[in-house]
Amino acid sequence: DIRLTQSPSSLSASVGDRVTITCRASQYINNYLNWHQQKPGKAPKLLLYAASSLQSGVPSRFSGIRSGTNFTLSITSLQPEDFATYYCQQSYSTPRTFGQGTKVEI
Amino acid sequence: QVQLVESGGGVVQPGRSLRLSCAASGFPFSDYAIHWVRQAPGRGLEWVALISYDGSEKYYADSVKGRFTISRDNSKNTLYLQMNSLRADDTAVYSCVREGGVVAAFDYWGQGTLVTVSS
């Protein structure tokens, strides 16, 4: 199984900050890495797919980049609605796996 | 718009069975692979099972293999998860999720249905 190691597990930030979350895959997954946002009591929502492609309707302050088996999600100018938990997820192979999540708190 | 609506959750005793349903609308259901993903209270996301667009291929997490069965009825635009021999650690919100796009991302999620396994 492909293990995704996400860091940090939580972070505190302020509105307007730049935030970076990393996800490291245990083996080659090409660019089959996706990022999801989940707010309390809500279903997750796809933010980025294929490491760096923005899902339709997602603000451009979200971006992603791949370097080998390391992936990064960045949020520039954090907004109040961005406080949530973020998960990386690989779709390269079955079983599909998720990172353990990063909670972005005020 | 794409909608996935789960139903069938509830409280069930250990060792018993439950069947979840997921009603899909707003897209050609028979063209898409669909997954079940679960989330235990206060925990992260865990993939459970996958079924191909035509039901010919099915895959399961080791934690549910031999106990859970995923199926679909494309004539009814409905996905199912038959859960047998339920255990306390199966307690979670179960969501159906569409797979789409060039890298088979989870592009649409249902709101989920809560399954509680407790005596």
Tell me: the pLDDT tens digits for A13-51?
Answer: 999 999 999 999 999 999 999 999 999 999 999 999 999
Q: Whose CA is closest to B95, among A76, A71, A42?
A: A42
Tell me: the pLDDT tens digits for B18-49?
Answer: 999 999 999 999 999 999 999 999 999 999 99
Return the number of other C-beta atoms located less than 10 Å from residue B67's C-beta. 15
Residue A87 exposed, middle or buried by CB count within 10 Å (0-12, 13-18, 19+)? buried
User: How close does chain A come to B101, measured CA to CA in Å?
Assistant: 8
Question: Residues 53-92, chain A: which have Cβ within 8 Å of B?
Answer: 55, 87, 89, 91
CB spacing of B45 vs A98 below 8 angstroms = yes
N residues, chain B: 119
Q: Is A7 on the interface with B (CB under 8 A)?
A: no
Q: What is the Cα A96 distance to its own chain's centre?
A: 15
Q: What is the Cα B14 distance to its own chain's centre?
A: 19
User: How close does chain A come to B13, measured CA to CA in Å?
Assistant: 25
